[in-house]
Structure formats: C-alpha cells, structure tokens
Structure 1
C-alpha cells in the first residue's frame, strides 16, 4: 500500500480534547478519528476495532471523587492529577492497562517503572500512581495533564461530559 502524505495542522485546546475524547482504541490516529466523525467514505484502509470496555457503573468512583470535594482540597495540579489517575485505575484496572499506552509526540506518559520513564527523558519527574503498578510523568503543564486524563478516560470508555468535568478539575 502506498504511504500516505501526512500534513500537520494546529487546533485549539478545546478541539484537541474533543478529538482525543472520541478515541476508540489505543493508537487510533487523529485522521482516523476525524474520518469516522465526519463520516468520510474513504475508509478502505482504516481497520475496524472494538472500543475499550466502558468502566463499571460508568464512572461511579469518578463521580464520587468529584462530588466529595477531595480534588478541590488539594493544593496543586500534580496532586489532583495523581488522585484522578489513582481513582481511574481503581475503578477499572483492565481498561486503564489498555489505555495507558497513550503517548505524546516525543514522550511516553505511563510505564511500569520509574526507570522506564527516566530512560525516556531526563526531566520527566516520574511518580507512582497510588494503588497501581504504573508510574506517570508529572513534569508537564496543566494543559498537558488535562489532555493525558482526557485521552486516558476516552480510551477507557467514559462519557464526553464526564471527561470534560474531570479534566477541568485539574
């Protein structure tokens, strides 16, 4: 199959989060997501995959976290980010495991060890996600933390509205 010529475009934060929240599987490209959302006919080489299984009770633990005020009581975006990740893992470890394969253009966000994240970059400031076997980089700005959470939750099968509420709470 001939290789497609790829172009780079810039989109605002809200549009990026919307595209990311419509991810159906790990590794789905922005082009594939947009083709699906825009219902373009040229999908001959786009593979069909099953989306990640939705979390049990569709976010019961996440809603409890939001309503409890636990996030608001935390002083920093990093602490809120770490709390959200721990709740997402506890709520659905299997979906979290699949979804944690998300990566940035130049960085990996999740790994099963501090060493793996340190090897991927020297300013990652990895921290363990409480109650899980995963580590996450924390040396990102708040917008990137929101994007990581939005991508993770979308891949785990959470509803768009809940993804927005959680990512904005960071």
Structure 2
C-alpha cells in the first residue's frame, strides 16, 4: 500500500463521504472515483484523483449552497406571511393553518412534497393530492385544499393537532428549530 499526501480540505471531504464504520479511505476513493476493486490496470495519477475529488467537492458545495439559498428564501417568505396584516388579523385557526401551509409550499415545493409524503397519523392521512384520499380515512373527516398548491390537508383536528402536523412537516422539511417553535406559538392554547 502506498501513502499519498492530501490537503486538509480534501481529507475532510473524503472523511465526510464515509458510508459505514470501518470503510477505508481507499474504499471511499474507489467509490467516489467509480473504480471497481479489480480495476488495477488503470493507475490514476495523483493529479487525476485530485481533479476528480475537487470536482465532486465543488458539486457537493454547489448543492449545499442551493439548499441554503432555498432555506433562506423559505424562512424569509414564511416570516413575511407571519408578519402580514392578513395573517395577524386572521382569527380562525384553520385559515392561519392553511396560510402557513401555502407559504411553505410556495417557498419550497420539493421539500414540502417530501415532507407530506413522510408524515401521517396512526389512522389518518394528513396530506393528499386529492380530497377523496383524506376523506376515505374515517367518517366525519374534513379536508381543504391548500391555497396555490395541488395538496389537500385534513382540517377537522383540534388546534394542538394542527400544531403537531405543522411541526412534523417543518421538521421533515429541515426547517430550523427556532422557526418551528415560532409556528408552534400560534397553535398552543
């Protein structure tokens, strides 16, 4: 086995790509460079390896920057909705609930979709792309369409349950805890 020198940035990147305990640096590099364990005939040069790793690192950095930008937009939009006269003056919990859901969908539709697919009650579906799916989960169930979205949400839950639904959704969307706590304050009685 040969030793190579790499700078700290590359070392941390390689270490962050570990998929399981005990995975060696060689295994990680083989996976990142898409080399099979038997491909000994091709001997990558240090220069080629560094280029490939740096390119992979840049791609990962770009994805993280996009996620940060999306989250920043989402939080700014959510803040605008929560501070709007329409939201502040609204006295009906259901309408506030729908306004928050609409804001979340508008600002991050992919995150919202992912979140709705990953939460539901023990016996009820909270979100669906049609009213019938929600209504089929029990008698007396009511649903409303989330404004400006293709989604429907169950609405005849108590205020605390609406807060729990929003909390679970926002957690699944990777929204920071302080923003989730702010939303909770509107649904705690």
Do they superpose with TM above 0.5? yes
CA positional deviation for 1:123: 1.7
How many angstroms apart in 2 are the aligned matches of 1:108 and 1:122? 13
Q: What is the match of residue 99 of structure 2?
A: 83
Long gaps (5+) in structure 2: 1-20, 22-66
CA positional deviation for 1:63: 0.9
* Alignment partner of 1:98 is 2:114: yes
Q: Deviations over 1:111-163 (max 9, x none)?
A: 01011111112222100000111000001000000000011011111110110
For CA contacts below 8 A with separation 6 or more, give which structure has more relative contact order: 1
Give aligned pairs, total.
119
Q: TM-score, normalised by structure 1?
A: 0.65
Q: What is the match of residue 139 of structure 1?
A: 156
How many angstroms apart in 2 are the aligned matches of 1:167 and 1:149? 8
How many angstroms apart in 1 are the aligned matches of 2:88 and 2:96? 8
How many angstroms apart in 1 are the aligned matches of 2:146 and 2:99? 8
Q: What is the match of residue 178 of structure 2?
A: 161
Q: What is the match of residue 107 of structure 1?
A: 124
* Alignment partner of 1:148 is 2:168: no
Choose 1 or 2 for highest CA Rg.
Answer: 2
Q: Deviations over 1:47-76 (max 9, x none)?
A: xxxxxx664315111111122243221121
Compare the two structures and name the one with the higher helix fraction: 2
* Residues 126 and 154, structure 2, Cα contact 8 Å, conserved in 1: yes
